[in-house]
């Protein structure tokens, strides 16, 4: 029985072989409605515990909470992400969990973050970029662009780290097909 474990260095998170079956890392993005009694300190505790548990499972991600809505991006080994997301969906601290994206990825976008909390605006911008970027050629055919299409791959992550990139309006436009 072959089993390869994810090491502490999540930068190397690539296809994983478990029981001789190769699986690609996955990304799940979801949004939900927080219960009215959920406090910022509750979210801080979720993030604190997630840093520890996610590190053990090879999971990375980012969480946003604005006092009402929760948006989270999770990346990692498929089985670990599916198990975690199953628990998230039945967590009593929120309701109305909606999956915004669920797909395989080539590499994690947050290789150094087992979990961080950021503003809801920054995470929604990143969700938009990740979703547009994941459609690749389709985007370019539609003539739409995301930050990920126009900038180095770390631009969206820079936004989350508090480094605001140049306005999207100053980036070169994507060429439209003729």
Q: Residue 88 maps to which CATH number?
A: 3.30.70.100
34 & 112 share domain? yes
81 & 35 share domain? yes
The DSSP symbol for 171 reads S
57 & 137 share domain? no
Integer Cα distance of 44 and 29 in angstroms: 19
Is residue 9 a part of any domain in this protein? no
Average pLDDT, the chain: 73
Whether 146 has a pLDDT exceeding 50, the answer reads: no
Residues in CB range of 60: below 8 A, 6 or more apart? 10, 13, 54, 74, 75, 76, 108, 109, 110, 111, 112, 113, 114, 115
Domain's final residue, options 75, 103, 118 = 118
Coil, strand or helix at 151: coil
When comparing pLDDT for 84 and 14, which is higher? 84
- For residue range 7-37, list pLDDT tens digits in order: 333 444 445 545 555 578 999 999 999 999 9
Sign of CA dihedral 154, 147, 102, 42: positive
The DSSP symbol for 36 reads T
- When pLDDT is averaged across residues 87-96 and rounded to a whole number, the result is 96
Show the tokens assigned to 105.
């990825």
99 & 149 share domain? no
Residues in CB range of 128: below 8 A, 6 or more apart? 146
- For residue range 29-69, list pLDDT tens digits in order: 999 999 999 999 999 999 999 999 999 999 999 999 999 99
CB 80 within 8 A of CB 61: no
Containing structural domain, residue 141: 119-178
Integer Cα distance of 166 and 171 in angstroms: 8
35 & 23 share domain? yes
- Least confident range from 76-80, 93-97, 170-174: namely 170-174
When comparing pLDDT for 128 and 28, which is higher? 28
**Tokens 């690539």, residue located:** 14
* Domains held by the chain: number: 2
31 & 80 share domain? yes
Whether 147 has a pLDDT exceeding 80, the answer reads: no
55 & 108 share domain? yes
23 & 87 share domain? yes
**Given pLDDT bands bounded at 50, 70 and 90, which one contains residue 87?**
very high
The conformational region for residue 162 under phi > 0 = left, psi -120 to 50 = alpha, else beta, is left
26 & 80 share domain? yes
Domain's final residue, options 118, 137, 166 = 118
Is the pTM higher than 0.75? The answer reads no
Q: What is the pLDDT of residue 70?
A: 95
52 & 114 share domain? yes
Is residue 127 a part of any domain in this protein? yes
């Amino acid at each position: 029985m072959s089993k390869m474990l994810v090491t502490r260095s999540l930068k190397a998170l690539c296809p994983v072989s478990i029981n001789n079956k190769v699986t690609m890392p996955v990304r799940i993005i979801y949004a939900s409605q927080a219960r009215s009694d959920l406090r910022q300190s509750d979210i801080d505790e979720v993030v604190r515990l997630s840093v520890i548990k996610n590190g053990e499972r090879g999971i990375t991600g980012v969480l946003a909470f604005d006092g009402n809505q929760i948006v989270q991006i999770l990346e990692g080994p498929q089985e670990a992400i599916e198990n975690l997301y199953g628990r998230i969906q039945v967590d009593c601290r929120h309701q109305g969990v909606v999956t915004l994206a669920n797909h395989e990825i080539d590499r994690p976008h947050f290789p150094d973050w087992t979990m961080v909390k950021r503003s809801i605006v920054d995470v929604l911008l990143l969700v938009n970029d990740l979703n547009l970027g994941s459609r690749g050629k389709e985007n370019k055919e539609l003539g739409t662009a995301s930050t990920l299409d126009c900038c180095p791959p770390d631009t969206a992550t820079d936004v989350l780290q508090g480094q605001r990139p140049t306005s999207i309006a100053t980036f070169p436009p994507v060429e439209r097909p003729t």
